Chains A and B, each alone.
Chain A
Amino acid sequence: EIVLTQSPATLSLSPGERATLSCRASQSVRYSLVWYQQKPGQAPRLLTYDASNRATGIPARFSGSGSGTDFTLTISSLEPEDSAVYYCQQRDEWRWAFGQGTKVEIK
């Protein structure tokens, strides 16, 4: 059973700075890693899929990368509205696992 570990737990940065979020899988699986953004009181929103593709309507400052067991979500220049919790997710045959989340705070 795959386990996804995200780091750091919290990231506090200023507007315009670069944010780098990490997700490490306990094993390599055949399905690609996905990232979501969740703001307080809202449902999660799909950000990137298949490691590096952005979902519809997602700004270009969000980019996903990685392969195997190590993946990264990069926000190139933080905007105030990027304050949220970010989750990684990966399918492992008949289970869909989530990481525990990284909270991004804007100073």
Chain B
Amino acid sequence: EVQLVESGGPVLQPGGSLRLSCVASGFTLSSYAMSWVRQAPGKGLEWVSTAGGRRGETYYADSVMGRFTISRDSSKNTLYLQMNSLRVEDTARYFCARLGPPSSSHFFDYWGQGTLVTVSS
């Protein structure tokens, strides 16, 4: 059974840093592209970042480019999101999601329950 479990979201002040983790089970992380998607309170879904499959490429939304870094540790089957220079508008629930199928990575077939990140002064 595929499972994704996120962690790492306390309350932070603007300008702070945080690393989110997503532990995957039931599949091999390195065989799939993986993403972070966020949802601000009461708002819609926003794609944040993707780490590609075996080639290791990374992609970012303009809103986080230069501030966030996505990475993975295959030995731990874990996906990370390093978030720096946090802003109030980064407040959201952050979901870890698997992209499928491996040949095209064009939809999110499994999602974690998300972790809430609050940035407030």
Interface residues of A (CB under 8 A from B): 31-32, 34, 36, 38, 42-46, 49, 55, 85, 87, 89-91, 94-101
Given A87-B44, A96-B50, A97-B47, answer yes or no on A34-B107 (Cβ-Cβ < 8 Å). Answer: yes
A residues near B95, Cβ cutoff 8 Å? 43-44
A residues near B46, Cβ cutoff 8 Å? 98
B residues near A95, Cβ cutoff 8 Å? 47, 59, 61
A residues near B61, Cβ cutoff 8 Å? 95
Interface residues of B (CB under 8 A from A): 35, 37, 44-47, 50, 59, 61, 95, 99, 104-109, 111-114
Partner of B111, one of A43, A89, A100: A43
B residues near A32, Cβ cutoff 8 Å? 106
Tell me whether B59 and A94 are in contact (CB under 8 A): yes
Q: What is the distance, in angstroms, from B65's C-beta to the closest C-beta of chain A?
A: 11
Tell me whether B113 and A43 are in contact (CB under 8 A): yes
Q: What is the distance, in angstroms, from A7's C-beta to the closest C-beta of chain B?
A: 14
For the residues of A in contact with B, the DSSP-based class is strand
Partner of B108, one of A46, A100, A101: A46
B96 — nearest CB in chain A belongs to which residue? A43
Report Cα–Cα, A87/B46, bound state, in Å: 11
Tell me whether B106 and A91 are in contact (CB under 8 A): yes
Offer 5 A-B interface pairs, CB within 8 angstroms, sorted by A: A31-B104, A32-B106, A38-B45, A96-B47, A98-B45
Q: Among B45, B59, B113, find the residue whose CB has the most chain A CB atoms closer than 10 A.
A: B45
Q: What is the distance, in angstroms, from B31's C-beta to the closest C-beta of chain A?
A: 18
B residues near A91, Cβ cutoff 8 Å? 104-107
Tell me whether A101 and B44 are in contact (CB under 8 A): yes
B residues near A89, Cβ cutoff 8 Å? 45, 107-108
Tell me whether A44 and B111 are in contact (CB under 8 A): yes
Closest 7 CB pairs of A and B: A43-B111, A91-B106, A34-B107, A31-B106, A96-B47, A98-B45, A94-B59
B residues near A87, Cβ cutoff 8 Å? 44-45
Tell me whether B112 and A34 are in contact (CB under 8 A): no
Partner of B45, one of A42, A44, A55, A94: A44
Tell me whether A44 and B44 are in contact (CB under 8 A): no
